[in-house]
Amino acid sequence: MLYRSTVREVDQDGPALYRPAYPANEGIVLNLPTRKQTMHSPPPTDVGAVRLCPLCNVAWAIDPNEAVFPSNWRCSSCDVELESKDRIILTAPDLADMISGFDPADFAFLAQAERDHFWFAARRRLICGLVDRFFPEAARFLEIGCGSGNVIEAVAQLRAWDRIVGTEIHTSGLALARERLPSFVELIQVDARRMPLRSLFDLAGAFDVLEHIDADEEAIEGIYGALQPGGGFIATVPQHPWLWSVSDDIAHHERRYVSGQLESKLERAGFTILFSTSYTVSLLPLMALNRMMARRAKPLQDPRELARREFHVSPLVNSVLTSVLNKEVAMTLRGMRWPVGGSRVVVARKL
Ligand SMILES: C[S@@+](CC[C@H](N)C(=O)[O-])C[C@H]1O[C@@H](n2cnc3c(N)ncnc32)[C@H](O)[C@@H]1O
Ligand SMILES: [Zn+2]
């Protein structure tokens, strides 16, 4: 079944037109808008789950038994076959592994650091707890910016998902994710600002991703579109601009969110907020001290080394902080809301 999505014009401050760089484009008349600043509105909501061709934007129904983008997928409208790398379909190949929003060189370092590190372990527990508490019935899960698969690996183990899909802009992250994840987890390369899936998922998650994206509201709109009506969304972001440090620069953060900022953006997109709280409140004094010392320290030759120091903790300190954060997570999952903390988690539902 084929649906044509409509095109609407936005003002000059709107999102830049995405121009895919497929060599195969040559000679093909693409169904892309020709004005400088345009965006596509979602197809009608009653059409069911669809994939959008990243080149011509024509929408195609997705059969529940097929992959969201089967390998060698070819759009019958513009007759272009999407590129793939290591059997992972690329929907925005011109952006893959560019240093934009995140440095792909950090994936291997992070994949190693995050396994037992107290901060990552606590965040996994919090996210999995919220999935179970708010969305016990969800059967189709989408992660945006899944990196090397740290969180989706834990979410995959929570229940027997009908469909579980990880998306990420950088193929080097997806390659590491492919190695660690079971084959039923589908992986595709996607720029969150151009989400090519609509009306498919019961639950989506973006864990420390939105702060990397200049146009975070475009990503939020895409996530909203990818959900079924009633579908849920869980997002974690760093907060408090006064905690900004070299770690944020190195990580290519566009912002640390101020109180209420993420919630407002979600509501503007049509979400209802179910739960919102700061987290890692227990670490706040340590974080503030660490930031203060880093500001006073002589600049290192390699500022990345300074940022990475936050990951180097002795096993004793790691186990103490793990048990402190375990208690905090347990209280949060019982409904406690913390006024301050290095990060924020927001749970929302599509109306
Ligand atoms: C701090 S990492 C978090 C990775 C993963 N969510 C986790 O929690 O382990 C941020 C991720 O966002 C991804 N990202 C940044 N901009 C993106 C975009 N426009 N579309 C999709 N992913 C993006 C980065 O490539 C990176 O994998
Ligand atoms: Zn097409």
**pLDDT score, position 87:** 84
The number of distinct structural domains making up the chain is 1
- Residue 42 CA to ligand 2 centre (angstroms): 16
Check pocket membership of 205 for ligand 1, CB cut-off 6 A.
Answer: no
Specify the residue for token string 């009653």.
Answer: 46
- Residue 245 · residue 304 · CB < 8 Å: no
Q: For a pLDDT cut of 90, what percent of the chain falls above it?
A: 68
**pLDDT score, position 258:** 96
Check pocket membership of 147 for ligand 1, CB cut-off 6 A.
Answer: yes
Check pocket membership of 146 for ligand 1, CB cut-off 6 A.
Answer: yes
Q: What is the mean pLDDT of residues 231-240?
A: 98
- CA dist 32 and 54 (Å) reads 10
Which range among 1-15, 120-134, 219-233 shows the weakest confidence by mean pLDDT?
1-15
Does a structural domain hold residue 136?
Answer: yes
* 173 or 20, which is more confident: 173
- Residue 44 CA to ligand 1 centre (angstroms): 29
- What is the average pLDDT score of the chain? 85
Q: What is the mean pLDDT of residues 323-328?
A: 96
Which range among 30-34, 275-279, 323-327 shows the weakest confidence by mean pLDDT?
30-34
- CA dist 213 and 258 (Å) reads 16
Does a structural domain hold residue 214?
Answer: yes
Q: What is the CATH number of the domain that holds 322?
A: 3.40.50.150
Q: Which two tokens stand for residue 118?
A: 């107290």
DSSP type of residue 301: S
Check pocket membership of 202 for ligand 1, CB cut-off 6 A.
Answer: no
Does a structural domain hold residue 12?
Answer: no
**pLDDT score, position 298:** 62
Does a structural domain hold residue 132?
Answer: yes
Rounded to two decimals, what is the model's pTM?
0.85
**pLDDT score, position 109:** 81
**pLDDT score, position 188:** 98
Domain that holds residue 176: 104-350
Does a structural domain hold residue 54?
Answer: no
Does a structural domain hold residue 90?
Answer: no
Check pocket membership of 234 for ligand 1, CB cut-off 6 A.
Answer: no
- Listed in sequence order, the DSSP H helices in 140-200 are 150-156, 171-180
Does a structural domain hold residue 11?
Answer: no
Q: Which two tokens stand for residue 308?
A: 């990475």
Does a structural domain hold residue 66?
Answer: no
Burial class of residue 306, CB neighbours in 10 A (0-12, 13-18, 19+): middle
Specify the residue for token string 């649906």.
Answer: 3
pLDDT range class, residue 8, cuts 50, 70, 90: very low
pLDDT range class, residue 301, cuts 50, 70, 90: low
